[in-house]
Amino acid sequence: MNQRLSGIAASNGIAIAKAFRLENPELIVKKTSISNSNAELKRFESALDQSKSELEKIKAQTAQQMNDEEAAIFSAHLLVLSDPELLGPITEKIKLENVNAEFALQETANMFIGLFESMDNDYMKERAADIRDVTKRVLAHLLGVSIQNPSMITDEVIIIAEDLTPSDTVQLNPQYVKGFITDIGGRTSHSAILARTLEIPAVVGAKTVMSSIQNGMIVIVDGLEGDIIVNPDQKTIASYEDKKARYEQQKSEWAKLKNEPTITSDGYHVELGANIGTPKDVAGVLEHGGEAIGLYRTEFLYMGRNQFPAEDEQVEAYASVLKQMNGKPTVVRTLDIGGDKELSYLKLPKEMNPFLGFRAIRLCLEMEEMFRTQLRALLRASIHGNLKIMFPMIATIEEFRQAKTLFLDEKAKLEKKNIAISKTIEVGIMVEIPSTAVMADIFAKEVDFFSIGTNDLIQYTMAADRMNERVSYLYQPFNPAILRLVKIVIDAAHKEGKWVGMCGEMAGDEIAIPILLGLGLDEFSMSASSILKARSQILKLSKKEMERHTETILSMSTSQEVETYVKKISVTE
C-alpha cells in the first residue's frame, strides 16, 4: 500500500485512475522449417485478418477522435495488407521453401523496404514506412505478442510508459487518458509540452515506473509536485481528492481574470500569449484568456502521416488559427523537425547527437522546395489575421538572411500573380542557440522580433540534454548564465526598437516571471493552461521594483541563490 515514487512535475493537476502500461514489444523472428505449408499459410492469413480488423477499428476511432487526415495513415496500412505484390512472394516462400510465416514475412518485407528506401522518390519512401509499420503489426500477431495503440483506449486510465513519442501523445484522448507517467524525459520534452496543452496531469523522468507499476493498479499522479502514489489506501485517496478539489477551486479563481489585460501594479502592460501545436488548440488559448499566440509549432501538421502536407492543406491550417485569433498577434514558427521530433517518412540517417544535428532551419534550407511550400502557404494565409513568422534554431546571421531571401522571393512571386498578402507580416527568429544570443545586437538590426526559446537555449548553454533526466539538475532556468544571456537579447532588441518574447517553458514559471519582468521582456508565451495563473501573479507585481532587483540577481553565483532571493521578494500566490 502507498508505494511512493517521484519524478519531474510535467503538467499540472491531479489524477487518480488505474494504470495502463504502454509497451513497445521486442519482436524476435527465428527461421524454422515447417512440415505443413497449408497450415502455415492459414496461420499467416489469420494474422492478416486480425491485423486488418484491428486497423479498421483504429481508423474509425482516429477519424472520430482526431480527424480524417490522421485516419488516412491507417487506410494506407490497410492497402498494404491486401497488396498482392507483397503477399505473393510471402506465400510463395512459405510454400516453396517450407519456412515459417514470420520469417517469410520479415524477409520479404525487408527486401521491399530496402528497395523502396533506396529510391529517390518520396512516394516510394513513404510506402517503405507503411510496410515497416504493418509488418510489425502482423508479426506481433504471428508471435502472439500484443501491440498497443493509445487511440484505442476507452477506459479511464493513467498511462505508464518508458517514454511517449510526440505521435503517441497526439493520439491521447483526454476523455479517457487521465494522466501519464514516464520513466524518461524532462519538463521540456515534447510529450510533456503536449500534456500541458491537452491539460493532462503528467510526471516524467520517474525512472522506475515501468518496473514497479502493473496494469490495473490504482495510481495517483500529482503533476503539481511530481509525485506518484501506487496502490494508495483510502485515506491517501481522500487527501488527494481534496487536493484536486482545491486545485480546481484555485483554477476557477484564476478564470475570473480571463478578460482582464495583463497590467502590473505600476501600470505596465505585457502580452500573455500561448504556445500551440494544432489549430484545435486555439479554443483553449481563448478559453484561458490568451492575448496572443507566441508560438505555433507547425511541425505537428507534418507528423502522424505519410507525406508532407500539401500547400492548400497548410493554408487551411494557418488560416484557421489566424481567423480564430481574430486579429490578435499570431507567431507561426516554420518547421522545426529533428531533436525529439521525427518524421517517419523523412528517412534521415540516425545521428549521434540529434539535438545538435540536421534539424529545423538547417534541414529547411537544404530541403528548399518543402520550405518554400510552407512559406507560400503562410503568405497565402496571412490575410486572415495578424501573422508573424519566425525561423527556429538560427545559429548565424547568414541562415537568417537565406531564409528571409526565400520568404521575400516567394512573396514577390505571389504578388506578381496578384494573390492577396498581408502588408504587415513581421519576420523574426527564435533565439535558442547561445551564439545567436551573444550576437543579438547584429541580429536586432535585421529581424523584426526575437522570441527566446529557453528550452533549447538552456540545453545548449549548460550542455545538458533536455530529454535526459540524469542531467536534469543542470537544466537551470535561473542560472545567472541564462539570465545574463536573456538580458543581452532584450537590451539588444530594445536598442533597435524591436520587441522580445519568450516561448520556452521558462516564460510560464512563477520564479522566472518577476525576473523577466525586471529584465523588460515584452511578451510571455506559455502553455494555455498556465496563462491565468501567470496573469494573477503579474497583476500583483511592480515592474519598477523588479528592475531594482535585476542587478543583484544577475550578480549572484548560483541558480539556488536566485531562486531563494526571488521567492523572498516577489508576491506569489
Q: Report, as residue numbers or ranges, the catalytic residues.
A: 190, 503
> Where does this chain touch ligand PEP (CB under 6 A) — which range of 16-24, 88-96, 218-226, 451-459?
451-459
The partner in contact with residue 139, picked from ligand PEP, Mg ion, none with C-beta cut-offs of 5 to 8 angstroms by kind, is none
Can residue 336 be called a binding residue for ligand PEP (CB under 6 A)?
Answer: yes
Can residue 453 be called a binding residue for Mg ion (CB under 5 A)?
Answer: yes
Count of residues touching Mg ion (by CB under 5 A) = 3
CB of 188 to Mg ion, least distance (A): 9
Q: How far apart are CA 86 and CA 151, in angstroms?
A: 28
Q: What is the DSSP letter of 162?
A: S
E-only strand ranges, 208-291:
218-222, 227-230, 271-276
Which listed residue (454, 476, 479, 570) binds ligand PEP by CB under 6 A? 454
Q: What is the DSSP letter of 188?
A: T
Q: Which residues, 6+ apart, have CB-to-CB distance to 573 below 8 Å?
A: 250, 510, 533, 536, 537
Pairing of strands 202-204, 218-222: unpaired
Near ligand PEP in 495-534, by CB under 6 A: 503-504
The residue (of 205 and 453) whose beta carbon lies closer to ligand PEP is 453
Q: Is residue 142 within a helix (H) or strand (E), and if so which, with residue range?
A: helix 122-143
Q: How far apart are CA 243 and CA 220, in angstroms?
A: 12
Can residue 456 be called a binding residue for ligand PEP (CB under 6 A)?
Answer: yes
Q: How far apart are CA 492 and CA 215, in angstroms?
A: 54
CB of 238 to ligand PEP, least distance (A): 38
Q: What is the DSSP letter of 570?
A: S
CB of 506 to ligand PEP, least distance (A): 8
Which listed residue (70, 399, 456, 523) binds Mg ion by CB under 5 A? 456
The partner in contact with residue 281, picked from ligand PEP, Mg ion, none with C-beta cut-offs of 5 to 8 angstroms by kind, is none
Can residue 465 be called a binding residue for Mg ion (CB under 5 A)?
Answer: no
Can residue 334 be called a binding residue for ligand PEP (CB under 6 A)?
Answer: no
- The cell numbers describing 68, all together, are 480524417
Can residue 432 be called a binding residue for Mg ion (CB under 5 A)?
Answer: yes
The residue (of 40 and 432) whose beta carbon lies closer to Mg ion is 432
The residue (of 336 and 465) whose beta carbon lies closer to ligand PEP is 336
Near Mg ion in 481-500, by CB under 5 A: none
Q: How far apart are CA 306 and CA 302, in angstroms?
A: 9
CB of 197 to Mg ion, least distance (A): 16
> Where does this chain touch ligand PEP (CB under 6 A) — which range of 320-328, 378-386, 454-462, 565-573?
454-462
User: Concatenated DSSP letters for 450-513?
Assistant: EEE-HHHHHHHHHT--TT-GGGGGG--TTSHHHHHHHHHHHHHHHHTT-EEEE-SGGGG-TTHH
> Where does this chain touch Mg ion (CB under 5 A) — which range of 149-157, 167-175, 301-309, 425-433?
425-433
Output the CA torsion 397→398→403→408 (10° steps). 90
Near ligand PEP in 417-436, by CB under 6 A: 432
Near Mg ion in 182-211, by CB under 5 A: none
CB of 251 to ligand PEP, least distance (A): 24
The residue (of 11 and 454) whose beta carbon lies closer to ligand PEP is 454
User: Concatenated DSSP letters for 42-94?
Assistant: HHHHHHHHHHHHHHHHHHHHHHHHS-HHHHHHHHHHHHHHT-HHHHHHHHHHH
Q: Report residue 11: phi and psi, to 5°.
A: -155, 125
Near ligand PEP in 280-309, by CB under 6 A: 295, 297
Residues forming contacts to ligand PEP in the complex (CB under 6 A) are: 188, 295, 297, 336, 432, 453-456, 503-504
Please give the residue ranges that form the binding site for Mg ion (CB under 5 A): 432, 453, 456
